[in-house]
Amino acid sequence: MTGSPFVLPPAPARLDVVRERVRLRPIVDADVEAMVAYRGNPDVCRFLPFEPQSADDIRQRIGDLFGGTSIEGERGGVVLAIERLDDRAVIGDLVLFHLDAASGTAEIGWVVNPAAAGRGLATEAVRALIDTAFEVYGLRRLVARIDAENARSIALAERIGMRREAHLIENEWFKGRWSDEVDYAVLAREWTPSA
């Protein structure tokens, strides 16, 4: 059997994605204070793979990815700030990670400040991330792995048109309980880019 026919294009040197109300850009150290407002919130972290984070925790967990645009490498992934355009506030962050370069597949994830919820900003930002994953990074398939009790993230995945592919029953011991995982995915050929 020969290698995969899939080849990733080089990562962009600079990444700045602007939509109607949000901008996606690499995270910088100056964003950490705004990130603590939501990543330090126990309700936000309930379904995330980390406990509430301090500024030092954030720097330790993702600091080496600050400012980066490459999804390849030992700790591959790109973390992007969601900046609200009207006031330049960082209201969340997005991640593109767990790259399988041979198949052109990666995982996506999102964390949004609850204070910014209910306005469609997360939907706009995640759609922009998927556009970027397919158009800029040349990926073929994206997956979102969501805790089955995380109704808001499930609704977001469905709202943007991701396909529900699996419901894994009690597949992981997570934060003191057996957790179900719901997997959503979308292929580049199925995706309709944002206008």
**pLDDT tens per residue, range 24-73:** 999 999 999 999 999 999 999 999 999 999 999 999 988 888 888 888 76
In a domain, 98, yes or no: yes
In a domain, 88, yes or no: yes
| CATH code of the domain covering residue 73 | 3.40.630.30
In a domain, 185, yes or no: no
Q: How far is CA 132 from the centre of its chain?
A: 11
Residue 109 domain boundaries:
17-139
In a domain, 175, yes or no: no
In a domain, 93, yes or no: yes
Mean pLDDT (whole number) for 174-183: 94
Residue 128 DSSP SS3 = helix
In a domain, 168, yes or no: no
Q: Write out pLDDT tens, residues 159-175.
A: 999 999 999 999 999 99
> Number of structural domains, the chain?
1
Q: Give me the pLDDT at residue 1, please.
A: 46
* Predicted TM-score (pTM) of this structure: 0.92
E strand map for 16-162: 17-18, 22-26, 77-84, 90-100, 105-112, 141-147
Mean pLDDT (whole number) for 124-139: 96
**Helices marked H in 19-95:** 32-39, 42-45, 55-62
In a domain, 6, yes or no: no
In a domain, 106, yes or no: yes
